[in-house]
Amino acid sequence: MLWCYSDYAENLWGLPPFDVAVHERSFGLWRADASPKPAVAVVEAFAKRCATLPADAPVADSTWIDIEAAEFYRAPGSELPRLYRRYCDAMSTLYGPLGNVNEPG
């Protein structure tokens, strides 16, 4: 899922929720000046790759999730990177190497 098309224009930053939630201002794939962020190239490459997959290509499932929610929330700081690595490994098995995706964020 893609989060937001573009960052918010600076003239909106003084309005709620941007006045107190500074992180909300810059979730976009494009900057407010319409220039693309580096993530745009990643999304484009992914879309091109998906377009080349045959219609009967295998579909990922959630078997890589090996933990219950309660256990995850006891140590999310260590569980999230571990689960992300498992996810990347599962996707690589289905679709080939994913590139530099060793750690989230």
How far, in Å, are 30, 46, 71 from residue 9 at the CA level?
Answer: 11, 28, 40
| Percentages (nearest 5) of helix, strand, coil residues in the chain | 45, 5, 50
pLDDT tens, position by position, 62-105: 889 999 999 999 999 999 999 999 998 988 888 777 665 544 44
What lies within 8 Å, CB to CB, of 57 at 6+ separation is 94, 95
pLDDT of residue 60: 73
Structure pTM?
0.55
Q: What is the pLDDT of residue 82?
A: 96
The pLDDT tens digits for 21-49 are 999 999 899 999 999 999 999 899 988 98
Rounded Cα gap, residues 56 and 68, in angstroms: 31
Confidence at residue 57, expressed as pLDDT on a 0 to 100 scale: 79
Residue 53, token pair as written in the block = 């997959």
What is the count of structural domains for the chain?
Answer: 2
Same domain, 66 and 47: no
Do 66 and 43 sit in the same domain of this protein?
no
Q: Are 6 and 41 in the same domain? A: yes
Domain residues for the domain of 5 are 1-52
- Same domain for 7 and 38, yes or no, is yes
